[in-house]
Amino acid sequence: MDITASMVKELRERSGAGMMECKKALTENKGDVDASIEWLRKQGLAKADKKASRVAAEGRIVLAQEPHKAVLVEVNSETDFVAKDENFLKFADEVAKTALASGANDVDALKAAKTSYGPTVEEARQWLVAKVGENVQVRRLVRVDSANRVAAYVHGGRIGVLLELKGGSDELGRGLAMHIAAMNPPYVSPDHVPAEIVSKEKEIALAQMTEKDRAKPAEIQEKMIGGKIRKTLAEMSLTGQAYVLDTNSVIADVLKKEGAEVLGFHRIAVGEGIEKKQEDFAGEVMKQAGLA
């Protein structure tokens, strides 16, 4: 049968696939749109599988938030170009909304969750892979559900922060989330630093002592070492850092003034921990030209 432009248009709108793929699907399935959708899905699965091994270290951190709860999701692509594609951005936003609505606590649960327009997140991901021609992965999910204040901040789609705050204000919560995005403190306070790290810092402080320091009385040495350790632990803790929005104030003092307490936070950045392939394009060109 003849495949009309209106049939191709309908299939494109329903599937999100390219025009030529839709025409081929309709031809293969004698104009049956539903069968063509199934056929395209199978083709999408094959394409997604072929691209699954390729490194996807670009992408976006996306946020979905309601009172007392919020989620951050990292969705990765192979290139920054695709990470800015309209189809990718729509998919990423839908994934975040689905994560919040479904209550998913991990990526596997999120992939199985239904999106607002029907398919699961995993099915929608496979469609996107077929459409953009790159490996796309839903890599990480963090969420906070709390009776306390939940603050969130995303910087340029590259860094995201969720923060649980007892007391304080929305303004303070957002400011602290911005601080965490900028300064990346590993711990909430010195009390949260693991004992093994404190022990290692003590070893370092001892090793840095000069002969003159070692000649001082033991109690003086202990005070010197204790002071160095306290300074180091403060620098790696949120509460011990100077507030980026008011560098004359330490965050511990800001919290005290506001009658607030940070109960915990999450910070994720696009691609962190992924080993990226380093391309030597100049070397590759020279090799192919027989010059290397």
- Chain centroid to Cα 211, Å, comes to 47
Percent of the chain with pLDDT over 70: 86
Q: Rounded CA gap, 205 and 211, in Å?
A: 13
Cα(90)–Cα(269) distance, integer angstroms? 19
Task: Show the CA angle centred on residue 70, arms to residues 160 and 260, nearest 5°.
Answer: 85
Please state, as a whole number, how many other Cβ atoms lie within 10 Å of the Cβ of residue 278. 5
Model pLDDT for residues 188-246, shown as the tens digit of each residue: 999 998 888 888 877 877 777 788 877 788 788 778 877 788 888 888 899 999 999 99
Q: What does the block give as tokens for 97? A: 């909304």
Where does the pLDDT of residue 15 fall: very low under 50, low under 70, confident under 90, or very high at 90 and above?
low
Structure token digits, residue 13: 């709108």
pLDDT-based confidence at residue 99 (cuts at 50, 70, 90): very high
Q: In what order do the strands lie in the sheet with 58-66?
A: 58-66, 69-77, 137-145
**Structural contact between residues 122 and 111, judged by C-beta atoms closer than 8 angstroms:** yes
Please determine, for residue 47, whether its predicted confidence score (pLDDT) is greater than 70: no
pLDDT of residue 92: 97
Q: What are the sequence ranges of the domains in the chain?
A: 5-51, 52-145
* One-letter amino acid for residue 8 of the chain: V
Sequence-ordered alpha helix ranges (H) in 116-258: 121-132, 170-183, 195-207, 211-214, 218-235, 251-258
pLDDT value at residue 281: 46
> How many Å apart are CA 102 and CA 54, to the nearest integer?
29
Domain 52-145: CATH superfamily is Elongation factor Ts, dimerisation domain (3.30.479.20)
Q: Which two tokens stand for residue 240?
A: 């011990």
Classify domain 5-51 at the CATH superfamily level. Ubiquitin-associated (UBA) domain (1.10.8.10)
* Strand extents, DSSP E, the chain: 58-66, 69-77, 137-145, 149-155, 159-166, 242-243, 246-250, 261-269
Separation between Cα atoms, residue 54 and residue 93, nearest integer Å: 23
Alpha-carbon torsion angle 150, 171, 95, 103, nearest 10 = 10
Helix (H) or strand (E) holding 44: helix 33-51
Structural tokens at position 33: 């749109």
Q: What are phi and psi of 72, to 5 degrees?
A: -120, 135
